[in-house]
Amino acid sequence: MKAAWYERNGAARDVLTIGDMPLPEPGAGEVRVRLHVSGVNPSDVKSRRGRPPVFPRIVPHSDGAGVIEAIGEGVAPGRLGERVWIWNGQWKRPMGTAAEAIVLPQDQAVRLPDTTDFASGACFGIPALTALHGVRLAEAAPGRTILITGAAAAVGHYATQIAAARGARVIGTASARRADHARAAGASEIIDYRTENVAERVKALTGGKGVDAILDMDLATTAPLLPQGVLAPYGRLVCYGSNVPADIPVSFTAMLWGSLTLQLYLVYELRQQERDAAIAELTAMLEAGMLKHTIGQRFALDDIAAAHEAVESGDVIGNVVLETT
């Protein structure tokens, strides 16, 4: 099968290789998925760029979608030919979705509704599941106001839709060129984090109270807002990432006097009941046609280096995907 891989860290064009690899065979409890689309996420490019490979060869990307073409012992024969999307394809494994096929445990291949295309399905494992779990932790509900940072980014766009669907008021941060994208997802107000004081705008929009919760993509930027009253008393800061790969100071005084909660999570390591709940909710929303999916750019597998560069640029509105067939 055709695949892309790297064996050392470095710039995309320096380390990514396209070539042929043996077609893997599924073992007991596994399925082989003929991939149609591979999702490219920021975590994929960060791993290729700076996280030392723990296997001699890495086929990157954890997200993807395709059709089950082979099954191992113990897998129901009815799954052959099933349209599926993939989660944790390359997490703690050498073989990801930047290939024509992937073998993985059957639970990691989730049925894709017939009304959802493969490109959208390649956006679910990281962006959609991160959003669903984060919105649950933020307790989005009628009467609650949620600040979603990066409301026009891949996770934030899903989170904004989901929180709004649950009846919460969403305030989103986004640059001017992405503001309309966030509004279309359901954000009531947009704060241009590049030109406006986020804390002051939040307080102005909430009558000085602050928001009930923050769903945050960059703790390094958001933590300094806590002493400025951006969170209401007993508020929750729910965070799934940071642009600074180091320890980040968080104000003890603000946390204590506000009785605030700091909740971190990693989508790759969701507990089974958490992932099952997120997948069930996602499936229901897909079947009801409740979610909008945005594919910002599509690349062929041969152009994987350009796809990584597109993600690194931060200029693409929507998800970047590789078409693998």
For residue range 56-104, list pLDDT tens digits in order: 999 999 999 999 999 999 999 999 999 999 999 999 999 999 999 999 9
Q: What is the pTM of this model?
A: 0.97
Let me know: does 308 contact 318? Beta carbons within 8 Å: no
Q: Tell the residue number behind the tokens 């999916």, with chain if given.
A: 293
Task: Give the pLDDT of residue 245.
Answer: 81
Task: Give the pLDDT of residue 72.
Answer: 98
At 31 the three-state DSSP class reads strand
Task: Give the pLDDT of residue 246.
Answer: 86
Strand 169-173 and strand 189-191: pairing?
parallel
Tokens of 31: 């399925």
Q: How far is CA 247 from the centre of its chain?
A: 22
Let me know: does 188 contact 171? Beta carbons within 8 Å: yes
Low-confidence ranges of the chain (pLDDT < 50): none
Cα Rg, the chain, nearest whole Å: 20
Amino acid residing at 27: G
